[in-house]
Amino acid sequence: MENIAVVGVGQTKIERNKLGDTFADMVYEATKKALDDAGMTMDDIDNVITTSNDFWDGRTISTMAVNDACGGGLAKNMSAVEGDGTFSAFYGMARILSGVYDTTLVVSHVKGSESENVLITNAIFDPLYMRPIGLDSINSSALQMRRYMTKYGITEEQCAKVSVKNHKNALKNPYAQIAMDISVDDVLNSRVISDPLKLYDCSPVSDAAAAVILAGGDKAKKAKKPVWVKGVSYTADAYFLGDRDLADASALDKAALEAYEMAGIEDPLNEIDVAEVYDAFSYMELMWYEGLGFCPPGGGGKLIDKGITEMDGDLPVNPSGGLLSGHPVTPGGMIRLIEAVLQVRGDAGEHQVDGVKTALAHGINGACGQSHCVWIVGR
Amino acid sequence: MTQKAGDQELIVYKSRIKVPYTWSVGEVGSRFLTEIKENQKIWGTRCPVCDAVFVPPKKTCTYCFVPIHEWTEVKDEGVLQTYTIARYKTDLIPQDSPQIIGIILLDGADTGLVHLIGEAPPEKIKVGMRVKAVFNKDRKGHILDIKHFKPI
């Protein structure tokens, strides 16, 4: 891996409804925080990438609408990614590796509060065969959860433990939207949304923006607090749900292996100190443990039962509270990357894990984790 | 309820986007939907390399990245691989809540078909149960010409 570093990070508080802020207001806040964090001004930024989703923004080429809020109005090269922020950060890194730019600002925003998430996520699916059935992000994930439980004997209690852990971790994260001390029974007894998914298995509707600044070459070496990219990869799986075995995340298996190989990691459970993964629904975190090689296929339930991914376990996962505690859709993965960077720097505040040298961040795109992006960052 | 930022009342503007589209179903999809409409039969395509039978049919193999030319009829019944019972109502759910969605592996197919499950109380639905297609009387060349799959 060439020497690429994350040199600045910024995020807004995640909230159910940021009525006082427009998209641009949120983007400016995250951008300004990332610049301040890096000790930079917009003069130091060579190009800008924004990340959004046109359906959620309610306008086409939605990146144009936040141009002035992230420096694009200062005659910067500007480009866009539609999808999760981990994927746009990958693109930002690739732009630096092209040799044309030294620094890239990557920003991401969403307001889940301003439209109908079920209608928008129905539009993920192909219009001929899957959309008319009424699929959306919730019921498609419920199909995946049951398939995962059936194939590997994972229980609803084991999934509920993820929700308990992450909501509790969120109590120490000032940016989290939902933080609470709940029991497994509270999760199991919460309202059924789409069987077997209950309310507390599901991440909430959220508004937020996030930003990272990436640098290469001398700009990275001279940065105040660089966190180095050790390995990164993403891969995509089949689009049609019926073309995949939804119980397995083969795209994640591959992306993780490639990222580990780049980072020189052979035993992820022992060599990674903290992980931030895309827990849009509780069962997903268990599936991603398996895809990330923290345990064998079907071993996710045992991993949570043993407490290995708790704050005081061998490999704390989602000390920030994860997405179950706030799920702004396109910044979702970027916030995982930001949290991983903060953990490596020792700047994660009350949810800091001791002695983090190597951290993992994970993002997904598409229905039921069609695509996965894995980042390994470290000192 | 009016919200304020300091002394400023916050205005929320309500609107919507409505854009008509026409989507080509393509030759392969048109043949698939026409067979359902005219003959109440379900057909798939078979990859010449890995032998996988795709339903809905594909023109290229998802796994082997080669063109597919062979058609094969599959049964209108199969096994329920997974299901969910959605207990919320939205504009797009085509029947009353709760709506049951499943992935069905039809006999003779290698990929699962996402479709509705009907004519069964939710508590009777089980993974692994056999289900059969129920066709609508009035068919239009649409995936919902199969009304739903019912337990057998």
pLDDT tens sequence across A80-93: 999 999 999 999 99
Judging by beta carbons within 10 Å of its beta carbon (0-12, 13-18, 19+), is residue B6 exposed, middle or buried? exposed
pLDDT in tens, A103-141: 999 999 999 999 999 999 999 999 999 999 999 999 999
pLDDT at residue B5 tops 80? no
Most A CBs within 10 Å, among B42, B92, B99, B127, to test the A interface: B92
pLDDT in tens, A311-361: 999 999 999 999 999 999 999 999 999 999 999 999 999 999 999 999 999
Give pLDDT tens digits for B16-56: 999 999 999 999 999 999 999 999 999 999 999 999 999 99
pLDDT confidence tier of residue A46, bands split at 50, 70 and 90 = very high
pTM higher than 0.90: yes
User: Sorting pLDDT into bands at 50, 70 and 90, what band is B95?
Assistant: low
Interface confidence, given as ipTM, is 0.95
- Kindly identify which residue of chain B lies nearest to residue A55, measuring between CA atoms: B17
**B56 prior amide bond cis, ω within 30:** yes
* pLDDT, mean of residues A207-230: 97
Query: Looking at the predicted structure, is the pLDDT value of residue B1 above 60?
Result: no
Measured between CB atoms, which of A58, A134, A139 is closest to B17?
A58
Q: Per-residue confidence at B2, pLDDT binned at 50, 70, 90?
A: low
Residue B120, min C-alpha distance to chain A (Å): 16
The distance of B43 to chain A (nearest Cα, Å) reads 14
The predicted structure's pLDDT at residue B143 = 97
Residues of chain A with a CB closer than 8 angstroms to some CB in chain B: 19-20, 58, 116, 118-119, 122, 127-130, 132-136, 138-139, 142-147, 150, 192-197, 238, 240-243, 246
Q: What is the pLDDT of residues A131-146, one digit of tens each?
A: 999 999 999 999 999 9
Closest CA–CA distance from residue B5 to any residue of chain A (Å): 6
In sequence order, which ranges of A39-155 are alpha helices (DSSP H)? 54-57, 85-97, 117-122, 137-152
CA separation, residue A211 to residues A150, A208, A351 (Å) = 39, 11, 20
Residue A261 has pLDDT above 70, yes or no: yes
- The CA distances from residue B147 to A100, A284, B40, B137, in Å, are 56, 31, 11, 9
Whether B111 and A240 lie within 8 Å, measured CB to CB: yes
Nearest beta carbon to residue B111 from set A116, A119, A243: A243
- Residue A1's pLDDT band, with cuts at 50, 70 and 90, is low
Structure tokens at B103: 């992935």
Q: What is the pLDDT of residue A356?
A: 98
Beta bridge partners of B98: none
Among all residues of chain A, which has the CA nearest to that of B89?
Answer: A118
For residue A290, the one-letter residue type is: E
Report which secondary-structure segment, H or E, holds A267: none
Q: Report whether pLDDT(B88) > 90.
A: no
Mean per-residue pLDDT for A161-172?
98
Examine the pLDDT at B94 and tell me if it is beyond 60. no
B70 burial (CB, 10 Å; 0-12 / 13-18 / 19+) is exposed
Q: Which residues 79-118 of B are in CB contact (within 8 Å) with A?
A: 81-88, 90-94, 99, 101-103, 111-116
Residues across chain B? 152
- Cβ of B88 within 8 Å of Cβ of A19? The answer is no
Indicate the residue type of A3: N
Q: What is the mean pLDDT of chain B?
A: 94
pLDDT at B96 over 70: no
Q: How high does pLDDT run on average in chain A? A: 97
Residue pairs spanning A and B at CB distance below 8 A: 113
**Phi then psi dihedrals of residue A211, to 5 deg:** -150, 145
Asked if residue A23 lies in contact with residue A240, where contact means CB atoms within 8 angstroms, the answer is no
Q: Give me the pLDDT at residue B3, please.
A: 76
